[in-house]
Structure 1
């Protein structure tokens, strides 16, 4: 038996110190250990998955591994989120409301108010920061989107990255979305590249599962008794909907009856499961969504395929989650893992009424041709696409509720939630109807683990948790909900739940069609006069027990109940930093925010460096600019990329191929403009290779056209090539970063990446000193691509 003596850190040394070792007895500061038998904790956060999409929630998307978790535990029919990604994720990880954490919306639209500034306060500790001091490992994988975008470069600061918020390992992407075939990846605090290419079988969902398994197994073999907390947030099913074709093909013909029929089938399934009361009505038809029967045969064929691809994407992600579950079972940890699976918001309508083969066209205001999208029907989901389904599928995917992501009707804010802990609860395959919210997940974990919320974290006094535990419902189906009141606010769209009633004040209206009648659109500001009108006549009232889908407005029948709820909303808003109420997008976009570095017009890059995130790359849109590479060409010539940004959905590449200096500009995957030097112009030796672009006209941003211009190539100051570009990208390339000396992702030009330069690059300089022609309102489409 060991005679090792340990003592708590900070207490008096219990050994004896004499003049010599022989006269002394040692003792050691005790390492932090979790209590015997402490469970692992696994959070799985899906992205843009609606209440009526997963098969265990009556949906028609097969998710056998999530179903497996549900069968070993519980489905919560009444779980809520904030209706948007970053705010929900902040709530999940801190146990506080999103405004309390300064995350009113996506990080890129922060404004200078405490509930909106995007700087999550350290007094709102994250679950990782609470569990690591209790003897846990903490791993974060996948989507983060919880640090200010201007801090998400290799220059940091890193204190709001995952490793700065308590996680010990991180592998994933820092922004709101990424290309699933060519992702922008970070390992711990450093940018990294995918281990293989799509041609070699790469996909992000598989890669994240591989890394998650490695993190768990590496820790387990070295400390088998040490529990872990894993936050696993794959990109599925946020656009782009990328998936191997064979997974989409499993759904061939499954959705040919359309979104109207989908809703009816799923609603019947949900009643049979017990998620919805038998006599509850289905929410009414949304006037923004066309009836399936009115569509042409080709429209139905294209839109059905879009849903097949989305479903394959979700099933593929579910399959790789299953590999993680299998690993936990293999090492004997599955039964003693508390698993919580949730989506961050309702299904996404960001594909618009017609959907998109290349979502970058939508965000650049480029009119999409139905014929072009149809011509690419078999490419949907593949490496050449950047696709999103038509919003009829978002409406159907949120069955039985109305509306979708970004709105605080239940379609945006009520989400599937699955929980299991076989070693800690007796219930199997049951449904729970207690009211719950994402802020309740942290309190529930702490309650289940028998851990008190810490009073301080790294010396910072902690705020009180704002969620409540629902652990008492694990084995008691009729236990009362302890979450009685919950407010919601997103872009001025407001609602509140209290004691079985729900009031909603939609903004800019209950749907876009109705809003347009008052000349209001998504992003319209709420003036004091408008707010007075809304509070007087804009609120709706629903009784959840009879009408969970918000089909029958009872505002006229119960004015006293409604007034009480409106007053409660204002009280909650004061309490949780929701004010000032802001329905605008323009104001948020143009807000000046603190920056890590000073504004500049000159950027210098070197080969071998990390990929520069897209938002931090030089913004070459609608302005004069130049790119100059200082290179050495060896005997026999050289080839490869000098500088590249974006990919085949939109971007540019400055490169040498077949001995010719070339600049290729990819306009949202539709047009390719090229300027090339002649054969023999590039010789052995050191050279300055320069590309210049000079606008020759004005942009037409509302119609998706950036400035036209003259493109010129120079070698050592001598003009060697010129071309006229009829138009350019107005707002944003594909969400892929900039790389020097190679092309790390999807190629904008005709070569196989990474196509590394075989000569020597001393540096590449981008100069943006030319005048910028700006359109702030149009830029909003760029930012909203990231939520």
Structure 2
């Protein structure tokens, strides 16, 4: 017995003092993932854009700013990949429901919801003790069991739509009857003083302050800036008076020059020409120039307003002692939005019925439906070509910033990275964990070795990054890229580019390098078979599909009224006929 006691004492005491204890396990970092909607590669100040984004710029200065990060060309597939680490076709959200062709409806990978076996980052982090929080745009399924709570989020205030008004609780396009907001998967209303960026941050700070203050958290903020309708408080818009008065041609050239100065593109790289059907700025009447310059001012103001509220979130984390142990991610789901709101009389009629205007007076404020259109989208995407919807660099090459606990400070990363890499990177920083029961494996790669300077790249010269959304596709391998863009802004032809010399995608090398063309084509064929790509039908046009889906939705929505109106009209006509016959008989 004495020997046992002595052994116990010896275990806890050394020379009469407590034995040194092992260092406590390092605290798991908090994660704040912020996704901007439709931001171009150079929109943020840290990348050389006109918008004032000092808070995001500060995050970039103390972390890593990526110059070759790729997303998908549309919002839902990008968000599905970011949250799961899996290719979009494997998640069930291959594209967005608004552009889904009839032939693909309900097919595996095209159900427009996260399918069984698809685990989100929230579901993977919860077993590690994380509180999981989400505010903003969801757009990953609308049926029972499709909203955030069903996919691992403890608290959420989510918009289940591609967008909505930023000032009011209402729809922004005929496809939707209203703005479907949910809190913890239950229909919810917005406050009277709602502005999207402010509300998304306020709600997240409320959720952060609930529950166990010692538990790490995963916070996913999906901003509505700068999705249409482009709207911003006038005090932010006013900061850009005159900035865009020279027009889209001048702005595009200026961003191209800044890109060369910063080394994003070679000094002798060509700028892609404007499409022939796009309007030269000088061809617009003076009044129309004022309208379009004002719209771009609102766009920059909306980015600044978002950054202002990001700053409030950062200050809140500092004041509560959680900032130093937080990892931040800032990115965009795809490139800039080219859609216009002033060319379709049906859309104009819908706007009139729903309290929207396109006027200069009050641009960007409540009731305004502002947009930037295809020419400004081309300018915003500079030094790259094209924009959202397409597999061109302007559609898929977007800003990506990571900074915070455990990461290096103040570096620029020129290595390739992909949206599926975000989830495995954050999971690795959290210490990893077992696969959830029945979960399909991630397809992305951890960027941790790259962020910590342990390697120069996680994708070698023989590794291909492949992207496909609604027929718009890209295969990026080493310096080369094979890409295809569908109607209405492309022609569905494959083209080959050398991105190291021609990031503007101006010179098709398909005929000059047939062996490289064939190699990347083989990569695409293997990828397509592996993930279950369904090719779009001949003549597919995303704009036509949006119109078709909107008309179908409206017919379904108003069918009871149309039927009721038809019955009432028939009754009136029958009554008139009956009355006429009676009078005729009396005569």
The TM tier, using the shorter chain, reads 0.7 to 0.9
Matched, 1:216 2:196: no
- Measure the CA separation in 2 of the matches of 1:179 and 1:163: 24
1:275 paired with 2:264, answer yes
Question: Displacement of 1:276 after TM fit?
Answer: 2.8
Map 1:510-529; keep pairs closer than 5 Å. Answer: 511=489, 515=491
Alignment pair present for 1:169 and 2:155: yes
Aligned to 2:413: 432
Distance 2:361 2:548 in 1: 42
- 2:520 maps to what in 1? 565
**Change in CA separation of 1:227 and 1:553 when aligned onto 2, cut-off 3 Å:** same
**Distance between the aligned counterparts of 1:377 and 1:90, measured in 2?**
37
Name the CA distance, whole Å, in 2 between partners of 1:590 and 1:400: 31
Give structure 2 stretches of 5+ with no counterpart: 1-23, 170-178, 574-587
In the alignment, what sits opposite 2:199? 207
Question: Is residue 196 of structure 1 aligned with residue 192 of structure 2?
Answer: yes
**Within 5 A, what are the aligned runs for 1:479-490?**
479-482=456-459, 484-490=463-469
Match of 2:42 among 46, 52, 56: 52
- Equivalent positions of 1:499-510 (< 5 A) are 499-508=478-487
1:342, 1:418 within 8 Å by CA — same for their partners in 2?
yes
Matches within 5 A, 1:732-747: none
The answer to whether 1:471 aligns with 2:448 is yes
Counterpart contact for 1:345–1:405, Cα < 8 Å: yes
Which residue of structure 1 aligns with residue 371 of structure 2?
388
Partner residue, 1:663: none
- Matches of residues 294-333 of structure 1 in structure 2 within 5 Å? 294-333=283-322
SS in 2 for 1:563: helix
Distance in 1, matches of 2:255 and 2:568, equals 54
SS at match of 1:323: helix
Q: What is the alpha-carbon distance in structure 2 between the residues aligned to residue 575 and residue 545 of structure 1?
A: 28
> Per-residue displacement from partner, 1:270-328 (whole Å, max 9, x unpaired)?
23333333333322223232111222211211100011111111111111111111111
Rounded to whole Å, the distance in 1 between the matches of 2:407 and 2:127 is: 25
User: Does the C-alpha gap of structure 1 residues 300 and 225 become closer, same or farther in structure 2, counting only changes over 3 Å?
Assistant: same
CA distance in 1, matches of 2:284, 2:351: 19
Structure 1 or 2: more helix by fraction: 2
The answer to whether the aligner puts 1:442 opposite 2:432 as a matched pair is no
Whether the 8 Å contact between 2:41 and 2:398 is mirrored in structure 1 is yes
Correspondence 1:2-17 to 2 at 5 A = none
How far apart are the structure 2 equivalents of 1:547 and 1:401?
9
The superposition leaves residues 658-679 of structure 1 with CA deviations (integer Å, 9 ceiling, x where unpaired) of xxxxxxxxxxxxxxxxxxxxxx
Partner of 2:165: 179
Provide Cα deviations, 1:326-359, integer angstroms capped at 9, x if missing partner: 11111122222111111111100111xxx54xx9
Q: Alpha-carbon deviation of 1:74?
A: 1.2
The one-character-per-residue Cα deviations of 1:24-55 (angstroms, maximum 9, x if unpaired) are xxxxxxxxxx9641100111011011112111
By relative contact order (CA 8 Å, sep 6+), the higher-ranking structure is 2
1:544 to 488, 499, 504: 499
Following superposition, the deviation at residue 437 of structure 1 comes to 0.9
Match of 2:436? 456
Which residue is equivalent to 2:114?
120
Distance in 2 (CA, whole Å) between partners of 1:543 and 1:73 is 29
Match of 1:145 in 2: 139
Q: What is the count of residue pairs matched by the alignment?
A: 527
Aligned equivalents of 2:348, 2:443: Cα separation in 1: 40
Shift in CA distance, 616/190, structure 1 to aligned 2, threshold 3 Å: farther
CA distance in 1, matches of 2:138, 2:420: 17
**Cα distance in 2 for residues equivalent to 1:117 and 1:415:** 26
Alpha-carbon displacement from aligned partner over 1:469-508 (angstroms, at most 9, x marks no partner): 1111113296123262122222222221122210112223
Counterpart-to-counterpart distance in 2, 1:48 and 1:38: 31
CA distance in 2, matches of 1:341, 1:246: 24
Q: What TM-score do the two structures reach when normalised by structure 2? A: 0.83
- When residues 693 and 548 of structure 1 are mapped into structure 2, their CA distance, relative to the original with a 3 A threshold, is farther
2:74 is matched with: 84
RMSD across aligned C-alpha pairs, in angstroms? 3.1
- Cα gap change, 1:70 to 1:568, in 2 (>3 Å): same
Instruction: Give the aligned partner of residue 600 of structure 1.
Output: none
> Which whole-Å CA distance do the structure 2 matches of 1:616 and 1:213 have between them?
41
Q: Please report how far the alpha carbon of residue 393 of structure 1 lies from its aligned counterpart in structure 2 after TM superposition.
A: 1.0
Structure-2 residue corresponding to 1:11: none
Of Structure 1 and Structure 2, which has the larger fraction of its residues in strand? 1
More displaced 10-residue stretch of structure 1: 127-136 or 47-56: 47-56
* Contact map agreement 1:61 1:314 (CA 8 A) in 2: yes
Asked if structure 2 preserves the Cα contact closer than 8 Å seen for 1:107 and 1:147, the reply is no
Comparing 297-306 and 269-278, the one that deviates more = 269-278
Give the whole-Å Cα distance in 1 for the aligned partners of 2:314 and 2:554: 36
Q: How far apart are the structure 2 equivalents of 1:325 and 1:497?
A: 35
1:136 aligns with 2:130: yes
Give the whole-Å Cα distance in 2 for the aligned partners of 1:322 and 1:621. Answer: 48
Say if 1:49 and 1:345, in contact at 8 Å, map to a contact too: yes
List per-residue Cα deviations over 1:152-193 (Å, max 9, x = no partner).
xxxxx2x22100000000113111111111133321122222
Q: 2:328 aligns with which of 307, 325, 339?
A: 339
1:73 correspondence with 2:63: yes
TM-score normalised by L of structure 1: 0.63
Structure 1 unpaired stretches of 5+: 1-33, 152-156, 516-533, 593-613, 627-690, 697-708, 711-787
